[in-house]
Structure formats: structure tokens, C-alpha cells
Structure 1
């Protein structure tokens, strides 16, 4: 479910703005002279996904969910308390706001954005959680009103919004398949900062942002065994609090360890495994499900599923990720028909694994390369920029220079670092958490958002209690130990004894054995075994080979035949340049990164709307009166 709104300080707003911008009937509508709020008409799947509550002087809307409150975070005495299941999450927040003002946000645990309209104080506030897990996009119009939406693609359709593609931030998206910090590829449109209160004064229209939380890396001098025990205990507590008797839960299960950990603390769950055929990864996942006593449900994709995502996900709400990354969007009925809630292991590696700790790569010549589990020191902003550039797909001929863009958006502010409008207390905090703080810095935001809208969903790793533990764990444990694997060993030894699909050894083994197993298995697959999948684009892992998929099917040409004129009109490579890039890819140079990002942009409705380049060559004209039903189809 998407939420949209407009705030106008001069009191000249009327409910008609909703009909003009969002003409379809909406599930929730609220309009005064200052404030207009609307949501899409689909019934709300997720608990608290869009809940609202009202008192005599305050009205609030909660986008997402709230799990509990820790008074210690605000300097008060007392222990963490879970939100009672029978207490509406919006009402829960409203009651605390009326007692303490914004102070309660420091101790609030959840994945949410909270909207508060305080009529007595004549202010409207948008409050984000610690990591910005429920992004809200906003802009200011020429007449001074503030327009916001949880779907960035709908903001340009507002009658008073004047925007275009921003060449520099579009370049960043094409290079990294994400935009960083608060920036988007649309001029004047930004995301709310994580951990902030953005207040709009309805008297003069002024906007003020207050930061109530930032990540601070403060490693504890504790043994690895202490962290394993603490992590396992907190993880079990988080899942136990969210699940309840009488409800059925599902897990997105891979052949790895993160989702296996979720399954280790659940009973009578359904294990959903997405794959393109019954390969090694799928067989390992099935073994895990059977050992856990869970029902195994294979969600078979195939090439048609991947290619169909171009149309199915075109209204997906962010410039973070590819068209393919709302991975479950084609399986909504199969999942919602079986379970009441869903859990995943998303963000485990970003918060507790080695993904966010820079490590050097060792070239092995014709045998490939391997990542060495030692930390690569990043001591200056310039070195951090170099690190980002190493990960970029930047072979496109664009009018902007990527290094210049990064250097102008990442800089010191005293002892702090500002990265695309988001402030970090230190360079160390940026290096370790810049890939997931805000959460939209991670390119799986599309997947996370799609799951959140489909049904009650939770990734336990985004609970404040686990975020706090991540901030206290020494980086050496993230690089050279397997916290998740050892937690599974503690919680369910039978699950831990099953090999990891990527290493071939059980996740209960020591890190050196797992590390050696991973690289040996990779070497074996590349240079020794004669095993070949039934199709060149199929693999033995969790994903198909996108490079071979592009070579095996001509969907790139089909997109360009129908939408090539859009590429000619926006500040990126034109259609001929994209065709040349595709030709290069088909002759064994891997250009998946560039091609998939370009295909994502070209199939977004916002691209057609902004380029105003619709011709009579088959491109479908966007009808503003029907776009809401299109949004619902994506969900």
C-alpha cells in the first residue's frame, strides 16, 4: 500500500487536490485546509502498514509497524516492553507522543515512518525510524506546499510538481543501481533522512529537521562466544515476540545460513524456496526444511518469470535495485494463501557478516580471485570514494563524471562525514554502515518494500536490539568468524549439520573450514567438474545467470523497439548506444550491470512521463486516471 500527502501552510488546501493527483478511490483519505493524506484502495495486508489514530488535537498515521519501546534509550529507568498485540500501533504512538512529545522516538523500536498532525501546535511532522526502513520521498512546490509519497514515481504526476531527471544522480543510479543518502534521480525530490523528525510549521511553512539517532560503532571487548550467546538469545526473543499461536508463518528459505537461523526458532512454518529448477541450492533448502519439520514449497521461476518482471515491477517504488529485485512479486497469491506472516534473513550479512567491512582481493591469475578476510583500512574520504568507484558499473558514455559527483556529495563537516545529505559521526561509521544506513543505500530496497506491502513481514535483523548488537561487535568477528552459523549450531544443531549450498560444508564448522570450502567449491565448479545445467542460463545457486539470460532471449531489443525513444530523450546513453552495449555483451563481455539498470529505467512509467517522448510506435501512453490501478497490479 502506498501513502501520499500534501501539506500547505497558507491554509488554501482542499480535498480536491487528492482527486486531481490521485483520482481513484483511496483506502484512507483525510483532508483539511492544511493537510491532505491518501492511501491506495487495496486493503492493508501488513499489521500497522497504514494505521491511523486521532485524539482531540492530534492525528497520526503509521506507515509500517512498531514492535515495542525501550525507556533506557531515553535515559529513563525500566526494561524493554513489547507493544501488546491488541494495541493498535498508531494509537500506541499517539499516546506516547501526547505524554512526552517527540522524546519517545529515541526508545521506539520498529520499522516505520510516523506522520503526526498536531493541530494545537500547528505543525505536521514526518518521523523516520533509525535506519529509514520505510522510505518517504518529498519535494517542495513553487507555491510552498510540501508533497510526499512512499512511491517516488508518483510525485512527478502531482499537478504542482515540476521536476526532471537530475543528470548526476541518474548517473549514480546507472553506475551503482542505487542512489545514496537522501538523493534521488529526480530534481528537487529527496528521501527523508533516517532517524529524524522533519517538522513543517503550518504558520509560515518553514521546515526543520532534528536528528534523534545515528549509528555509532562502539565495539565491546567481549569474546566471540559471548556474542554468539547474546545474538542467539536476542534473535529468539525477537521472533517469539512477533509470532503468536493460531497464526501460520512462512520463511523465505535459501540454502545458506541466514534464513536457516529464522527457521531454527520457528515451529510448523512453511519454507518458501524460489529457484529456477531443482538444483543443488534447492535440494539443500529442501533438506533444511525437512530437518526443521517445515513444509517445503518450491516457487519455480524460470526465464519467463525473470523477463516478465520488466512489466510486472515497472511501478516498483524506488531507484534502488533492478526490475527483477521485487523477487516475490509474481508469487503473491501462493504466499498469502498459505501463511499469515513472513520472515526473511535480509540484511544479516550487512549487519553481522563481512559484506560491509572492506577487504582486499587476491588475484589468482587464470584461476580467478579470492577475497582475503582481513580488513582493508579506509582512512580518508578520498579512499572511501575510491572504494565506491571500484564497485561501480561506469562504462557508459555520460555527460557527467562519477568521481566528481561522489567527491561533491561526500565530504567532512568537522569531525563528521556527510554522505549525500546523511551525516555519520565518523569515517569508521560510514565505512561499516554506509551500505545500509539509510536502508535505501542497499540495492535490495525494492525487495524489502515489496515484501512489506504483500503481507505482515519482518526481517528480525532490523530490530533495534539486533542493530545495537551489530554496532558493538568487533569487525574482526564479522570478517573471520561466522556468527549466524554458530547461532544456528546453538539453537538447532541438526540444521547446522547440513552443508551450506555455497561452501559444501556444514555451517557448524569453523570459519577456516567454511572459507576453504567456499573457494574449493568455486574452483571445482569452474575448472574440474563437467556437470552442466540443462540450459546455459541455469545455475546450481539461488539465481539464474543473467548474463546468459540476456544472450539467450531478445527482450533487450524488444524493450528498445518499444521504448528506445525514451532513451534518446533522457540524460543517459541513447538507444543506439544501448544496442551497441548489448551487442558487446552478446560477444562475451559482461554488461549485465549496465543493461539491467538501463532496462529498469526505461520501463518505469516515470521515465515516459518525464521525457514526454511518447510516439505512435507502440509505447503505451500513461493515463493519469488509470495509474492507480496499475500500481495495485504491482502489489
Structure 2
């Protein structure tokens, strides 16, 4: 697990260590165990190392092929590297190290891009072929590890694990990408490969691109999610047995390490099941929970603190358990640090994750996370049901689009973004539809099809945002996060699960929609109505009250805190004087929306967090005035 950066001067100028060094220094937190660099004419590759597998200097990077043709800077872990190594050795490949870095390099040399589909793990890398003068950039299929790239006006291509490394390149300048901002204010996420930094793109998950002196082609997708209702599925009992086997296999695979591994442990089935299985192989492993001071919380927020459930599981699994308790002021203190490391905002509140990674990093270098369990196994039934009754794609997409406008009421949106250029007012509905570009959407839809479309959408967008956030916050503390649910074999299995093993009441939702008198009751899903197969199988490993508990997201009681203990902070940052965010939003409209929450009229906790983040982000950035630029190329099929 590491940080990478690189330069390709496509017009032939020599790339220098002096230009590369500031880029690599900017991400020292990602790899405090070592630093390496390599130059070859127009190319410079840099690396920061966090030693996890093969701690010897033999696996230091950039890593080179024996003949000196190929040079690799790589961030990630291949959990199946031993199997790949055996296959490569059978083909005559001789290895000089014991780690996964050389396996990745030799796989790419032997199999080319076809190797990417063989890799079971998380990765982002840059590979330079000095003979063909070709730079290959690739990101893992699920997008666990981020990779940013930017094409400069002088033809230079830059890439790195974080935007701050690109910003450290001598002469680098950027401005606010206003179109990306409109995406974020619509969805609390960015669905395209844009970022808030104009001219900087996030490599799409499951994509690869080959850069030469002559061309910077669009990234090409080598893998994509494919949720399909099976025509003749095995029996439920057979599926349960297969799921149990694949899950146990995935957890075991991801325990490969030459350093200590711990696990997050909330009160839920995902992290609880991972911990239960990992603890069988790692006695007295360390576990970590973050809870919340609930003294001022009310309503549904009273259930947000899961420390008691986590302590119960720690007792059962005999883990060495640590916990932290957050109060309202902890968000205020952490916000500048979070913005500095996460860079642009993605998805919702993330400061609980910041403190969780901070806690875990005090004791281990690797931590297991339950991320991906909801997206793959159907963890959001109350969202899926909203569009489950549609019979054509256009109606489905319009309904789900309306739901995913998370932050600003329609009637206030245009006025809120009034300070932005007219060209920034992009068609966000078209952007939403564009998520499904690689999916067959013609023909009549069944409820099962709508469910699969919703899972596809959330895996491509919501999960992607969660993974980027998790990577940035954990690596800020030099901590590697692993996600056993995002194992290739387990994910392939999950995408073929029948709908009745994902969510309850799908047919009932359709019946109630057809019965117009009952339509008002349509969205009756309870938060334990999802992940049915996973709950059934995980009840073998965790107590029934955990396996079948109501789902609880990892969220602080912000709705209460923002209008309570943190109300002065919110007012000071957003409503008083001249906030930095006034450059991009109408402060009168913003003030009315924020006051709605502070007065207890409407719950706008998501919007307030986003505004606080954007206000801090603008203050922290050295942005140039916006200039018209061509759009970054979109991923190709």
C-alpha cells in the first residue's frame, strides 16, 4: 500500500527528479516507510512505500524488469498473487522477490491488459515501457484505490494517488470545475470522471489507458458491474452454502500480510461477520469502534451509537477492543484536516471515518472494513423500492434521479448556484442517465430488473465515492484499509443472486403500486429488509440479534448537533460575515436553507455538512479564475 506519482513529457523534454520530488513529498503520509524514483528520458516515476507484504528492500519501487524494459510504480495489494506466481513460474518466469509487486509486473508483461481481469485485489499503477515509449495507467475493478491524471497545456501528462501531488508539480495551476460542483450539489457526489479541480480527472473504476507521445486516449473499461437476475438459479440452500464458502475464502485471502491486521467492529452484520471469521485465524486480533455522545440526540439518531453491540461481539470473538466516543466539537476540530487529506468532497459526512482511521492507525497498519456489503447484497431496500414498479427505463431513471437529488430542493437550486457561469448549468439528469451507458436498458422492465439497475447505479456511484473517501482518510494516517466484500469471486456471486434473496416484499411493492388506493403506503421498507441471503448465512458466525438487526449506517447525530451544540459553528462559518463559499453560491438562498434546519423546520444535515466542507475547501485552495477548457474524455466501452 503506497502512494504513486509520475510525469510523462510527451513532447520529449527530459523529466527530472527536481520536478518529481515535490509531487512525491506531498503524499509522504501514504508511504512513510520508503521513497523511490526513476527517470527515463521523458518519464519520471515516483513512489512512497507503506510496507505490508515483503518488508525487504527487494520489493522497493519503482520496480524494474530484469531486462530493464519495464518500470512500475504501484499502489495496492494482490490477494491472489501467490496463485498468479505459480502460474507464471510454470511458464518459465523467474522471480527475485517474495512480494506481489513483481507478480503484477510480470503478469502485465506476459498477458498485457488481459492480466487486469486476473488480479484479485486493489490497485492503481503506472507502468512505463521504455521500448514502446508507452505509459499504462490502470485502476482496480471496484475502484478501491484512486488514480488521478491531468493533461497540461504543454503536453505533459501527470498522474498520482492524490490531487495534492499534481498540485505540487512546478507550474501546475487549476481552477474550480464548476460543472463538477453542480454535479456535487445535485447528488452530493460526482458521477462523471470530473473532479472539483478543472483539468484533473479521476480514472474510472475498472479502467485502463495507454498514453504515448502521439496520443492521450480516453480510459477504456476492462471490467464493469453486471447485476443480472438468473434464469435458473440453484436452490436457496445451495446458494447459502456457496455464499458461506466464498465469504470465508475472501476473508482468509485478505489476511495475507507481514504486519498486524485489525478490523473495524460496528454493531452490524458486515463488520461483525468479517471480525468473527478473521478472529479464527488471528487470535486476539485488535478491533475498533467509534461511538457518539448521544446526550443531545433525539428520534432515530438515538440508535446511532453501536458501542454496546460492538463490545458484545468483541467479547464473543475474544478481540483486543478499542473505542472512541465523538462529541459535536470533534467535527469542528477535524474539518480542516479532513479537507486537506480528502481534498474534494465525496458522498456524506466522513468525520466519523476520520476518527475511526485515526484510532486504528495507533495499533495496526492494516484494517478490515465491511465496505461493499450493502451495495453488492442489497442493503438499501427503502431506496430500491422507489423505482421498483417502473416498466421502462426512462420512467425508472427519472424516478431514481428525483430520489438522488440529495441536497437542494428543486425550486431553490438554480437560485443557489446563481454566482456560477451559465455554462456550468449542466443537465444533471443526462449525467444520471449516463451512468447506465454500458447497460442494456431497452425493453420492458420487471421489478427484478429495476432492483438490479439500482444496485448497478449505487455500485458505480455511491460505492465509488465511499471508497475514495475511505482511501484518503485511512492513508492520511498511513493505514491500509481492506474490503473483503470486494473479492472478485464473492462479488461475481453477489451480482447473480435472485431478488428474493436480496430484499423482502418486492412483489408486494408492485401489488401496492397497482392498487392506487394503497399507493401512499408503497415505501414501507424497514431497514432490516435487505441483504437477506447475507443475513441468513452470517447468522452462522454472529449472534442472531446482530445478523437480523435493523441496519444502521455509520453516522453521527448531526441533525441534532447542527441545531444544538454546533449551531454557533454553523452560523459563524456559513451565515455571518462573508463566507468563502459566497464565491460559488447565493448566500441569501443558502441562509434560508440553513435556517430551515436550525429552526427545526426541515432536516438539512446533509446540505449543511456539504456547505461547511465546500467553505473550508475554498479557503484552503489556491484556485485560479475559471477558464474554458475542453471536457476530459469519458471512459470508453
TM-score, reference length from structure 2: 0.76
On the 8 A contact 1:132/1:439 being kept in 2, the answer is no
Larger mean Cα displacement after TM superposition, 351-360 or 459-468: 351-360
The aligned residue for residue 50 of structure 2 is: 44
2:336 matches 1:286:
no
On the 8 A contact 1:326/1:447 being kept in 2, the answer is no
Q: Note the 1:5-404 alignment, pairs <5 A.
A: 5-15=6-16, 16-18=18-20, 27-39=35-47, 44=50, 46-47=52-53, 51-55=61-65, 56-68=68-80, 87-156=98-167, 158-202=169-213, 204-207=214-217, 209-220=219-230, 221-243=233-255, 248-267=260-279, 268-277=284-293, 281-321=306-346, 324-325=349-350, 327-330=352-355, 334-355=359-380, 358-360=383-385, 375-377=388-390, 379-381=392-394, 383-392=396-405, 393-395=407-409, 396=413, 397-399=416-418
Larger mean Cα displacement after TM superposition, 305-314 or 397-406: 397-406
Distance (whole Å) between structure 1 residues aligned to residue 493 and residue 115 of structure 2: 21
The aligned residue for residue 515 of structure 2 is: none
CA 1:167–1:85 in structure 2 vs 1: closer, same or farther (change >3 Å)?
Answer: same
The aligned residue for residue 432 of structure 1 is: 455
CA 1:551–1:51 in structure 2 vs 1: closer, same or farther (change >3 Å)?
Answer: farther
Distance (whole Å) between structure 2 residues aligned to residue 127 and residue 408 of structure 1: 27
Shift of 1:542: 5.4
Distance (whole Å) between structure 2 residues aligned to residue 22 and residue 87 of structure 1: 25
The aligned residue for residue 533 of structure 2 is: 483
On the 8 A contact 1:152/1:317 being kept in 2, the answer is no
Larger mean Cα displacement after TM superposition, 60-69 or 437-446: 437-446
2:469 matches 1:446:
yes
CA 1:476–1:603 in structure 2 vs 1: closer, same or farther (change >3 Å)?
Answer: same
Shift of 1:438: 5.8
On the 8 A contact 1:326/1:446 being kept in 2, the answer is no
Q: Note the 1:436-515 alignment, pairs <5 A.
A: 436-437=459-460, 441-443=464-466, 445-451=468-474, 454-480=478-504, 482-490=532-540, 492=541, 495-497=542-544, 499-500=545-546, 507=547
Distance (whole Å) between structure 1 residues aligned to residue 471 and residue 244 of structure 2: 23
Unpaired runs of at least 5, structure 2: 29-34, 295-302, 443-448, 505-530, 627-637
On the 8 A contact 2:335/2:613 being kept in 1, the answer is yes
1:72-98: CA deviation from partner (whole Å, max 9, x where unpaired): 9xxx9999xxxx997322211111122
Distance (whole Å) between structure 1 residues aligned to residue 612 and residue 619 of structure 2: 13
On the 8 A contact 1:316/1:446 being kept in 2, the answer is no
CA 1:425–1:441 in structure 2 vs 1: closer, same or farther (change >3 Å)?
Answer: farther
Shift of 1:357: 8.5
Three-state SS of the structure 2 residue aligned to 1:63 is: strand
Shift of 1:12: 0.6
Three-state SS of the structure 2 residue aligned to 1:121 is: coil
Unpaired runs of at least 5, structure 1: 362-373, 412-417, 501-506, 509-513, 520-539, 614-635
Shift of 1:285: 1.5
Distance (whole Å) between structure 1 residues aligned to residue 482 and residue 23 of structure 2: 32
On the 8 A contact 1:546/1:592 being kept in 2, the answer is yes
On the 8 A contact 1:281/1:542 being kept in 2, the answer is no
On the 8 A contact 2:145/2:468 being kept in 1, the answer is no
Task: Name whichever structure is richer in helix by fraction.
Answer: 2
The aligned residue for residue 596 of structure 1 is: 609
On the 8 A contact 1:174/1:598 being kept in 2, the answer is no
Three-state SS of the structure 2 residue aligned to 1:274 is: strand
TM-score, reference length from structure 1: 0.76
